[in-house]
Structure 1
Amino acid sequence: MNPGGSALSWRRWVRSAGYAWAGIAHTYRAQPNFRIEVWAGAVALGLAVGLRVPPTPILLACALVLGLELLNTALEAAVDLASPEWQPLAKVAKDAAAGAVLVASLGALLVGVVELGPPLLRLMTF
């Protein structure tokens, strides 16, 4: 094994992570729904911590929604690049990607209700 190969792989990973963070930052700046989802997730995680509810289901739901929103943004950009004029199949692709985000968001909402609802109700009844 080449001793320098490990450092090279590490540098490559750091560079790739930088590109990924650039994509996340762009999406945060350019997509209002992504910002809403980030802050809704932060509130849900804060509630989970405050209510002493295990945060794992909330974290997974947030990761799913945010990951799909990033993919939706990427797909929209790629479709716009490939097909600048309106095309029915481009609309199908964009609508389906947006639908995936919607389905994940509704699932995340249900996770929040199931995980956070009972402790919130107990807190409100005292």
Structure 2
Amino acid sequence: MTSPFKGQRGLQRIFNAAGYSRDGLLAALRGEAAFRQLVLLNLLLVPLAFVLEVSRAERALLVAACLLALIVELLNSAIEAVVDRISLERHPLSKNAKDMGSAAQLVALTLIALVWGIILLG
């Protein structure tokens, strides 16, 4: 079965997708403290990556690690929203889904620390 929302094609689909993406970013900024904190971290680290004396490849890794953490937080927030939409009742599968999303974010944050540490200290 296909979604009734999948009917657009061409430029209209691109415009719709851009609007959905904007809405998702705004929802994350408004409703997710962890996302706002990561945005602030990115506002510090991404410009710093461009003033450090590192190679272009190292700079790309520094920035990519930061952006990946934002991506993971958006996905983690989406998982939490879907689980909460299904039911606010405590359930082991719901807990697992939320905990795994949180673990993914921990790995992404660890990646930032490792990449920045290896490049700056290595």
Bin of the TM-score, shorter chain as denominator length: 0.7 to 0.9
Contact 2:49 / 2:63 at 8 angstroms: preserved in 1? no
1:66 aligned residue: 70
Structure 2 letter corresponding to 1:83: S
C-alpha RMSD over aligned residues:
1.5
Aligned equivalent of 1:88, options 92, 95, 104: 92
Amino acid at match of 1:60: A
Give me the TM-score of the superposition, normalised by structure 2: 0.82
Contact 2:46 / 2:66 at 8 angstroms: preserved in 1? Answer: no
Gaps of 5+ in 1: 1-7, 119-126
In structure 2, what is the Cα distance between the partners aligned to 1:21 and 1:35? 15
CA-CA distance at 1:80 after TM superposition = 0.6
Supply the AA of the counterpart residue of 1:109.
A
Aligned to 1:113: 117
Matches within 5 A, 1:1-126: 9-53=10-54, 54=56, 55-117=59-121
Amino acid at match of 1:50: V
Residues 65 and 101 in structure 1, CA contact (< 8 A), matched pair in contact too: yes
Structure 2 residue runs without a partner (length 5+): 1-8
Q: What is the total number of aligned residue pairs between the two structures?
A: 111
